[in-house]
Structure 1
């Protein structure tokens, strides 16, 4: 695993960093209409530039059925979500809803797992460095090893598991800043990861900060992904519930109907 910090390889003018997003309001949340490929290209262009210029980190959160429900029921989560610079469509239902609700159509689903995997080889070629924060220690370590196998030459600037006490948070931030990654991936689950990012965004030296939930477990294979036909038809949640019923059944049983109701309620934006 490479630990050296790469030199910036993207001599892009600061004005190329977009200031505004075209969004579709889905279930009360403004979601970027940008495609998965466009989002990856933008991340790999902007993140090294922001870090090199020591600009504040660009904060990227995701939106799915669970997020819609939590946004409507959890005031602290809603306040943190509102601080994102960009919210992308992690769930197929969000993409479909942008069309049902007569909003600007979201190009396609940008699941965090696909965003991560599809970016690995381009990131390795461009010298864009990643930091992995979250998951159990064995999962985090295995994920770091696995992605270097998937994308030889990828720079993993650093990594840390997702378990720390409040009094250890300063040390977590110090370790991230010592690595100064282009992209910090935070996978500690909703709502903890959003709260961490908002609380520390002005202290973290990174170009982009992207929340990613259980991403590291999917990379290592601890969590199986749904067949492609289920992903395309918005049924990945059903596969997840079937393969991890004790952890996820109640979540989907309660949040999915609520998310559909919220989409209907906010269908006119």
Structure 2
């Protein structure tokens, strides 16, 4: 998909501002199972097209979009119920070196792109700016989500902040938060609670939500607050951003130093027993 041009924009009668007319992405996208989770193999541009079509799909409904890395997939292996949540998503994208290794080992395919939320979300805000779209942020502590919301307004002036709420919810809070989200008129919701909590929350409440796009974005708000800094581009291209994150968050050493070998062992086992080849390269529109 090419970047949006003025010809991709039309005025809807009665609207206060122009909106995108969805341009269909390429007809098919490959779905590569990785440890039982269906990963969509597309470029970043194609991913934007898929999200855009969800945004304007009629009749309007909420869509779930998740990003999986080695830690996420290890969680899915340890918790079949969580794997079922990932399997139920409208789209799952592969994030990081581990998923790329897995696709090569299991399917002999190099993923077209590293479609991670940290890069995709800002790109989406940039491409869809000044179209009258609204977003809602859910996650983190009350103080930090307020800072993240303020930073988002500074970084993405072509959008309207519809609202935000902490991700620390008690048993009686969910209904009120859902009511607040729906009343905000948000077109996009970013949920940053960490996994598996964020995907589980979206899954559990998707039928009650009216936001077309619900993205689980992990630590994205931590970058906006300033607690995390992206690795240099050359480090990311080499696939070693996880080392940069480890240096910034040494308390997560077990996730990488134990989790990565465990993930590789699971991938090799899946390759030996052909667990992920039974539906190799499923094609989806």
TM-score by length of 2: 0.82
1:230 deviates by 2.3
Matches within 5 A, 1:8-157: 9-12=19-22, 21-47=29-55, 49-50=56-57, 53-157=58-162
> Which of 238, 260, 270 matches 1:256?
260
CA contact 1:127–1:154 (8 Å) conserved in 2: yes
CA contact 1:32–1:106 (8 Å) conserved in 2: no
CA contact 1:6–1:129 (8 Å) conserved in 2: no
> 2:92, 2:234 → 1: CA distance?
25
Range with greater deviation from structure 2 (167-176 or 133-142)? 133-142
**Which entry has the higher C-alpha Rg, 1 or 2?**
2
1:179 deviates by 1.1
> 2:260, 2:217 → 1: CA distance?
20
CA contact 1:35–1:108 (8 Å) conserved in 2: yes
TM-score by length of 1: 0.87
> 2:180, 2:108 → 1: CA distance?
42
1:232 deviates by 1.7
State the superposition RMSD in angstroms.
Answer: 2.4
CA contact 2:35–2:73 (8 Å) conserved in 1: yes
CA offset digits 1:218-249 (Å, max 9, x no partner)? 12221122222222222222211221112x11
Report what 1:184 is aligned to: 189
Report what 2:206 is aligned to: 201
Q: Secondary structure at the match of 1:184?
A: strand
Report what 2:283 is aligned to: none
As a proportion of its length, which structure holds more helix? 1
> 1:178, 1:156 → 2: CA distance?
13
CA contact 2:22–2:52 (8 Å) conserved in 1: no
1:45 deviates by 4.3
Q: Secondary structure at the match of 2:133?
A: coil
> 1:261, 1:112 → 2: CA distance?
26
CA offset digits 1:168-226 (Å, max 9, x no partner)? 11001001100131111111011111111111000001111110111101122211222
The answer on 1:212 being equivalent to 2:217 is yes
Q: Stretches of 4+ moved more than 6 A in 1?
A: 5-8, 17-20
Q: Secondary structure at the match of 1:181?
A: coil
1:25 deviates by 2.1
Query: Please, which runs of 5 or more residues in structure 2 have no aligned partner?
Result: 1-14, 278-285
1:20 deviates by 7.2
After superposition, the Cα gap between the structure-2 partners of 1:6 and 1:72, relative to the gap in structure 1 and judged at 3 Å, is farther
> 2:106, 2:176 → 1: CA distance?
45
CA offset digits 1:75-99 (Å, max 9, x no partner)? 2211211211111011122124323
Report what 1:244 is aligned to: 249
